[in-house]
Structure 1
Amino acid sequence: MCGIFCCIHQAKNDSEPFTQWNICKDVIAARGPDHLTEKYISLSHHWHGYFAATVLWMQGPEIITQPSLDDNNNLLLWNGDIFSGCLAKDDVCDTNVILDELLSTTDIISVLCKIEGPYSLVYYQKSTNTLYFGRDIIGRHSLLLKIDSKANSLTLASVANKNMKGIVEVPAIGIFAMNLNSSRINLACYPWKEPDLRFTDVIETLETNLNVDINIRKTILDTNSSLTNLHLHPDPKDLEYLENIPDSINFNETLRYLLENREVNERVECLTQLLYQSVKVRVKKKPNYCKDCIKIVLNGESITCTHSKIGILFSGGLDSAILTAIADKYVPENETIDLINVAFERSVNNQKISHMNGEKENMMQKYDVPDRKTGRQTYSELLRICPNRKWNFIQCNITQMELQLYRASRICDLLHPLCTILDESLGCAMWFASRAKGILYPVDETYESPCRILLLGIGADELFGGYMRHRTILKHKGWDALVQELNIELARISERNLGRDDRIISDHGKQSRLPYLDENVVKYVQNIKPWERCYPTEKMPTGLGDKLLLRLLAYKIGFQSTANFPKRAFQFGSRIANSKENANNISDRL
């Protein structure tokens, strides 16, 4: 994980890059506490480039610094991980793999379409005098863009600051390019997929916000490799095995009954194998040091680290529970895994706290939010399923005073340019959770997780139909409408969640890894029929029909209560959000 910054400007505006860099240097440095390098390069007769990168060492036997220059003076700023595909290599830093691959061809786009894994990058190709930049097809890492027509400059950054006006998120719709042979700012876009109505809307909005025309070039991926597959309405025989479930049996008996169906069981097995592989590579691809021990190693000393290196944002819900049980298979038995559960102090009006209670009881009541209850319940199940592991269940209790302090002093900058009430509540919850500072349950010891990798369940609801609106859409509009909605939600997840969450979590010198959004998992799920992913009908109420395929997987690997927990939004489960506020309104607290 890295923090990357690039400012392309003209010689007459030599102060421009330093002005922009100084605004966001602090938040970019927090993303990569292990190393910082800056380079100032004359790119052409017209343009100069200021490139900076901060590095969080997450790959290879030694730290590789950036910006990276090759023998031909091509320059790379890379913030990503190659987890699978033909470019994936063990024990080699991806920065070197990508730089070598790009050096071997003049067709930059052909290399980028081979990358499987989350990334954002900036690449300057000397021979064509072209600057390329963009995010992966799912948009799992953040990249922000500002164009100043008056100063004739272009700025790119992983994260910015609310004082940086006019900056926007680079949409994850393709790879962008700027021709540096021209004396004016110009942009082209190589779309990931054949342009559709949504692509056109995104491009038009971007052109308006940046005040620049964008030329559309050749499509990068074939339509055949598109992550979209619509299915027609099912025949009655397609649903027989779902409709013929006896009415007299409970949720767990229903799951057991369905797993006796050979085709259902095969789908669960296939998904299980893909998720196991997805978690495995995300757990294993790292230096074997925690946040504290890696400082010792970077100082040239030798150490064996047995502290926690993997943390999981753990509401106790279905998505995080599955990741936890799978991670247990690939983390050495002598290492703890940190389960991070965040709760926000309930407002005084809602507290029923007695002066007769002890301090511990009052504390429990203050933070007795829904996610804390399900977290403890699932933690108990986990002790039964994985008895040989030492789990650290971290209760992160956040006071209203602390929330207000960090929201105003830090989180508002990390969220920028997003600013809705929903962004605020989710961003704050994610920031305090990823800080991972709290009290261990049940021993009541203070603890701050030293892990550098966080596994998140993001993407499960969009893939497996986990939201209440999916039930409503199916009821009123049918299966075609539901599968289109699922595809649209996955296409929009980069702008709704992923860029924001990447900026928030990385602020603690940690990296988020998202097993459900692995390309192989996404491709498999999008190519099975929608009623094989979920069945949110009257036959299967909430806690069963939504995310049915995932519930079957959870039950099969040993979860019972957890397999039937209904979906609960993070902002409400942690009690940070006020349900009376409109989530889409601009927040006046940022």
Structure 2
Amino acid sequence: MCGIALVVSGCRLDLSSLHVDARAPSPHPVHEHLEFSIDDLEAALRRRGPDSLGGVKVFISSISSNPGEEQQFECFVERVDCGVAFQNQNDQHEMENGRILHSHDSCSSLISGAQFYFLGATLQLRGLNPIVQPLMDASRNVLVYNGEIFGGIHVEYHQNDAEALMQALGNCCASNVSLDTNTCLGECKRESTIVDVLSNIQGPWAIIYFAVSAKTLWFGRDAFGRRSLLVHWPTVVDSRFLLSSVSPASSMFHDSGHDNDNGTCEVSFWEELPCGIYSISFDAQSTDGCLVGEVKRHEWTNESLKELVEWKRTCIVPKPGDISSSYHEDLLSQHESNSACLHNLQSVPEGIRAPVSTPAEILLDALRKSLIRRTSLYTIFQGTTSASRKAELGPVAILFSGGLDSMTLAALLDECLDACYEIDLLNVSFDGCSAPDRISAKAGVQELTRIAPLRRWKLVEIDADLSNLTSETKHVMSLINPANTYMDLNIGIALWLASGGDGWIYESIDKDDKFHRRVKYKSQAKILLVGSGADEQCAGYGRHRTKYRQGGEGVYSP
């Protein structure tokens, strides 16, 4: 997970099924006027701090140009990663001029056709061996994936999520499917389709996948939009089709990106891809020689997911019976299947196995399981950290204000993570020690130390000065694009500074821990947890506190 991107040029897209307002590009686009280059896109992905950044080029060219003759296509694949050793690819490569190429598929002689440039930035949290995206399998299918798999696809304890997904996609029907029925076309006998596989993923994700044999590009993001994926549909101004997790600053037509005088937002180069699964089948060529791709949007095939997406609240107070026992059995089974990767961690807390009855217990049980999925199942930090350094390197950090959300996360995380690991609590203040969040954070650390004395909690104080953030503003605006209001910027700046983990901590200078000094510190945690949205989901905290003080635990109905 970290970021993915795709640049497609030399083709025309049929967007009629999506009702997208985009004019057809010229068959021979001119690149001199474009706002940004692939190098700019790579730089934007690199600034997110990945462990690796790789690229793959795919060319599709027609080899039948005579009238009346059946069209045939050739596909060429070329790796363009520089100075990287690939240990996880199934196909064989050779080095040539600092680049890794397919030994039989150099596409340097290709002159015309459609070009696909895939980029994958990986911040690896799972898997024993380092990987570099894009991934390619033996059939030369290409995958870039930004997400996490918590269920729906089996992931071995030693595997990376993207590797497991690549294997699952390679084993299903690669041909395009009907927009209405999601059934395979042709003589394919495989039971699962690509839509089936993506519909069953439990967890946040965004994906770009090219099935070479079917000449079909698949892309999309999970039903709740937990991973960003921007899209630029071809226009006269820029005829490329673009997908990216993040926008380069140079692709923003308006420097400020804020609301204008009349309260409306400027039109952006990018738009957020609506949640769902999409495909583009490149199986035709127009009379002017430009490859044509038909864009389709596909319905989810997982009935439970469809029901959840379309769910409308009809009952305010949850009932214990609403959560089936199979949910708990599934979680226990998943934990046992991953027991090999949990040898360094505490066992699952007894509270998970114990029956739950009250709504509060149901909520805490679900939160605890969610934290285990996001922390204890990761092995990347265990394999690279010696026992003597575990106490120094905290694998997990929490964006910490000392409020209800972050305090709950911290307390539950203590139950899920071995006590030998430190936990960094990242706190941002724009007003030094007098800021309310800094005061509540210090009080929160004292409370956590009381209930979990074996854990070393590190409060990382990140001091910020709004007057010195000019240089960061443009970058943050590109990261949150197409969101572009002042409120978006304020929230984005705070999250950006906090996630950097660059601040100060207090160290003891005596054996009795009575005297401390403030020293510079930068968190090395790869897993960041943030509690956000509960206030909005619960219609504000204040009214619930008032209701409780009046003598009940009633749930407010907005």
Which of 283, 294, 302 is matched with 1:181 structurally?
283
Q: What SS does the aligned partner of 2:364 have?
A: helix
Give secondary structure in 2 for the equivalent of 1:289.
Answer: helix
Q: Deviations over 1:275-327 (max 9, x none)?
A: 1111112112334539xx96xx8xxx999544111100011111111110111
Aligned residues between the structures: 402
Q: Which residue of 1 aligns with 2:531?
A: 457
Distance in 1, matches of 2:270 and 2:553, equals: 38
Aligned-partner Cα distance in 1 for 2:551–2:133? 47
Contact 1:288 1:305 in 2 (8 A): no
Match of 1:338 in 2: 424
1:66 aligns with 2:133: yes
**CA distance in 2 between partners of 1:157 and 1:542 (Å):** 51
Q: In structure 1, what is the Cα distance between the partners aligned to 2:29 and 2:36?
A: 10
What's 1:382 paired with? 448
Structure with the largest fraction of helix: 1
- Say yes or no: does 1:28 pair with 2:45: yes
Work out whether residues 179 and 187 of structure 1, in 8 Å CA contact, stay in contact via their aligned partners in 2. yes
Q: Is the 8 A contact 1:147 1:167 kept in 2?
A: no
Identity level (%): 29
Q: Which residue of structure 2 aligns with residue 448 of structure 1?
A: 522
Write out per-residue CA displacement over residues 148-199 of structure 1, whole angstroms, 9 at most, x where no aligned residue: 323532111111123214433434431122222243464322244xxxxxxx
Task: Describe the shift of the 1:116–1:338 C-alpha distance in structure 2 as closer, same or farther (beyond 3 A).
Answer: same
CA distance in 1, matches of 2:302, 2:364: 33
Measure, in 2, the Cα distance between the counterparts of 1:388 and 1:152: 59
The answer (yes or no) to whether the contact 2:133–2:144 under 8 Å persists in 1 is yes
User: Offset at 1:330?
Assistant: 2.4
Over 3 Å counting, the alpha-carbon distance change for 1:540 and 1:383 in structure 2 is same
The one-letter code sitting in structure 1 at the alignment partner of 2:364 is T
Structure with the bigger percentage of strand: 2
**What code does the residue aligned with 1:539 have?**
K
1:156 is aligned with what amino acid?
Answer: L
- 2:58 maps to 1:41: yes
- 1:529-568 to structure 2, matched below 5 A, reads 539-540=547-548
Q: Pick from 112, 126, 135 the counterpart of residue 198 of structure 2.
A: 112
Q: Give unmatched runs, 5+ long, in structure 2.
A: 12-27, 63-112, 174-192, 253-267, 285-290, 318-354, 507-515
Residue 168 (structure 1) aligned with residue 270 (structure 2): yes
TM-score by length of 2: 0.65
Partner of 1:466: 540
Equivalent residues of 2:52, 2:122 under 8 A apart: yes
Alignment of 1:353-372 (within 5 A): 366-372=432-438
Q: Which residue is 2:261 aligned to?
A: none
Q: Structure 1 residue 230 and structure 2 residue 313: aligned?
A: yes
The structure that has the greater radius of gyration is 2
Tell whether 2:468 aligns with 1:394.
Answer: no
Q: Aligned residue for 1:146?
A: 232
In the alignment, what sits opposite 2:217?
A: 131
Q: Tell me if 1:312 matches 2:398.
A: yes
Between 166-175 and 148-157, report the one with greater CA deviation: 166-175
CA distance in 2: counterparts of 1:98 and 1:419, whole angstroms: 34
**Cα distance change of structure 1 residues 19 and 439 upon mapping to structure 2, 3 Å threshold:** closer
Q: State the one-letter code of the partner of 1:272.
A: L
* Cα distance, 1:280–1:336 mapped onto 2, change above 3 Å: same
Which secondary structure state, in structure 1, belongs to the residue aligned with residue 251 of structure 2? coil
Q: Say if 1:462 and 1:129 are closer, same or farther in 2 by CA, change over 3 A.
A: farther
User: How far 1:452 sits from its partner (Å)?
Assistant: 1.1
CA contact under 8 A between 1:82 and 1:94: conserved in structure 2? yes
Cα deviation for residue 90 of structure 1 reads 2.3
Q: Tell me the distance in 2 between the aligned counterparts of 1:232 and 1:144.
A: 35
- Report the RMSD for the aligned CA atoms in angstroms: 3.4
| CA 1:23–1:395: 2 relative to 1, 3 Å | same
Check 1:539–1:176 CA distance in 2 against 1; reply closer, same or farther (3 A cut).
Answer: same
Q: 1:325 aligns with which of 411, 419, 439?
A: 411
Alpha-carbon offset, residue 126 of structure 1: 1.9
Instruction: Give how far 1:332 is off.
Output: 2.2
